[in-house]
Amino acid sequence: MDVNCLLCNVGLENRDHFLFDCEASWRIWSAVARRCNITPLRSWPQSLEQMRTLSSGKLWKRLTLLAWQASIYWIWSERNGRLHRGIFTPETTIVSSIDRQIRNRIASYRDTNTVVASRLLQLWISSAP
């Protein structure tokens, strides 16, 4: 069994490499993190601590955690697509999928809190490159 990372084919595939020492996952997370006004960290333990201790306002914190979770999900999904189906998705498409997931999640807040949904969407859209 090949133990190289399926995203970069360089490092050993393990959690610490995969999130976010791998160049491919790093580029994806960096693109998303910039939109959240944070400096992404490459080390998994440091990234966890960064998310745990976010000092931004409630809305930015919620948005950042949502973006971080979506990034991990889509990076892992890409890894599984390559492993099980031999499908390779461009990084720009993965970032677009993350953006779409975040917008959809924000839209789901409209049923319970239209003000929060509106503010989150405004923050997210205003951070677009």
Percent of the chain with pLDDT over 90: 88
Is residue 81 pLDDT above 80, yes or no? yes
Cβ atoms of 103 and 124 closer than 8 Å: yes
51-77: pLDDT as tens digits: 999 988 999 999 999 999 999 999 999
Is residue 123 pLDDT above 90, yes or no? yes
Judge if pTM exceeds 0.75. Answer: yes
Domain boundaries, the chain: 15-126
Of 1-15, 26-40, 56-70, 86-100, the one with minimum mean pLDDT is 1-15
